[in-house]
A and B are shown apart, each in its own frame.
Chain A
Amino acid sequence: MSDISRRNFGKFAIAGLSTLAAPSILQAKSGARLVIIGGGFGGASAARFARTNFPHIDVTVIEPQLTFVTCPYGNLLLAGARTLSDITHPYGVLKRRGVIFIHDWADAIEPDKKLVKLRSGKTVAYDKLIVSPGIGIKWGALPGYDQAAAQIFPHAWVPERGEQVLLLRKQLEALPDGGVVGFAIPGNPFRCPPGPYERISLVANYLKKHKPRAKILALDAKDAFSKQGLFQDAWNELYPGLIEWIPGSKDGKVVSIDTKEKVFQTEFGTRHKIDVGNVIPPQSAAKIAIDAGLTNETGFVPVNPYTFEATKAKDIHVIGDANIAGPMPKSGFIANSTSKQAVASAIALLEGREAPKDPIYFNTCYSHVGDDYGISVVGVFRPSEKGFVETPNSGGVSPRGPLAEKKTQRKLEAQYADAWYASITKDAFG
């Protein structure tokens, strides 16, 4: 593309985003470098949004995997309702849109030099860096649970190439009828707050059809969880007697894992024999965020709620599950929603303009709990000087009520969940 057409290309795109537009953009230097670490919901959405709306910026994504396997809809794979290919998204479209992909690990960031060091030994220079690496598992934080233990009791919480979720599915298929499926669920914060409970529901869905004498034992470090009333209503109606959920105050907190004896041990010393076990381990921001010194004592990254710039490093904007954004959940939708404000802010600041004002961050988390049975939680959030704030009187969960009364709503929400998955993955990867 010629310089002239390149500039015009940028001008028209900027005109297409009034909230971002400012005359000074036209003096922007061509080819400023936006580098993104991570090609998940946050990173891919950021790359797509940047290419579409700021085509004068060079966009590079550093992502070790050649395709992205989503955590959302992975639980449907456990129920046999999706395959791995249904939840795997290639980066071809983004590449064709002009996003440069470097399939390597980002091993270090040097904020002073504005460099990312790759595992291959190469370095990548940036003008603005978006860090969206997701979570890291705190190996060893739960005694007995390390990488080797994850081959016996899979976590299936970090997708990589889908190995973990496939392993869990295979184990469920091999479970003898009458066996016990155990879940170890951590305290907050963790990726996808309703995720463990959707997983319990969909494993129950599978067991009810194929191993009707099997049981689920869900051991939880917490006393309350996302969409709790709705999940428990569904469990009682759809899977009566199949699921036992034990809260932290009733000795639900798993404190050690014994892979040899296949036991989950809880706080007060109870040893639960498990046939198939899913350990959702304690989490932090991914290693690169910790190594770069971006995290605080929580293990996650504090950020400016308007721009997502890390409070500990200039020109590094951190989005997705790695940051601290409560009360917003660590979800794919929030990663997608906030990626756009982060990119628009990063580029505005780079070009000497103010970050877009009055952003709204939006989330809907759908959960499938059975066939044609979906529930949701909605959140509309805004930034403030004190952090992120949920907009008063808005959001909340689906109405409760017996299935006989709510059948249409549950069916529609299951359908809208599918619409969400199709739409959000298109927005990020398509």
Chain B
Amino acid sequence: MLRTASMIMIAGLLAATATPSAAESRKKPAKPVPAPLIAQACSGCHGQLGQGLKGTPRLSGYEKDAFARVWSEFRDNQRPAATIMPRIARGYSDTEVAVLANYFSSIRR
């Protein structure tokens, strides 16, 4: 399976090596949100593109507002079934959470 990051780079390679037709140049792909460095930590358990694995939830395609809401629920101990996320959530500012939410919501499921 091609990962989004690879596809971004492959898109760049194709753009450089082939002249797109008029039709192709009209079909601009949705602009991917750049991967912020702080999202790298999430990949430690949720997979490199937040796809989730072995029971860790999928983050890719997570709706932006829901991501921020769930994060604040972790932070405020309002999710009784939580295990390690409350301890993580308290380490990130609202601005940083917004960056993560923006990034993961932009990755296609």
Contacts and interface: CB of A to CB of B under 8 A. Distances in A.
A4 B16 contact: yes
Contacts, number: 138
Interface string B69-104: 000000000000101100111111000100000000
By Cβ-Cβ distance, the 8 closest A-B pairs, closest first, are: A380-B91, A12-B12, A394-B91, A362-B41, A18-B34, A419-B54, A8-B16, A394-B90
Contacts of B34: 15-19, 21
Interface of B: 5, 8-9, 11-13, 15-17, 32, 34-38, 40-41, 43-48, 53-56, 81, 83-84, 87-92, 96
Contacts of B96: 360
Secondary structure of the B contact surface, majority rule: helix
Contacts of B48: 423, 426-427
Which has the most chain A C-beta neighbours within 10 Å: B35, B55, B87?
Answer: B87
19 contacts: A12-B13, A16-B5, A16-B35, A17-B35, A18-B34, A19-B37, A21-B34, A341-B37, A344-B37, A380-B90, A398-B83, A398-B84, A408-B81, A416-B55, A416-B84, A419-B45, A419-B46, A419-B53, A419-B55
A416 B41 contact: no
B9 A55 contact: yes
Interface stretch (A132-140, A170-178, A332-340): A332-340
A61 interface: no
A424 interface: yes
A341 B39 CA distance: 12
A396 B88 CA distance: 9
B37 A9 contact: no
Interface of A: 2, 4-5, 7-9, 11-13, 15-21, 49, 52, 55, 333, 336-337, 340-341, 344, 356, 359-360, 362, 364, 376, 378, 380, 391, 393-396, 398, 408-409, 412-413, 415-416, 418-420, 422-424, 426-427
B37 A8 contact: no
Nearest to B31: A15
B6 to A, nearest CB: 8
Nearest to B12: A12
Which has the most chain A C-beta neighbours within 10 Å: B11, B13, B44?
Answer: B44
A258 to B, nearest CB: 42
B98 to A, nearest CB: 13
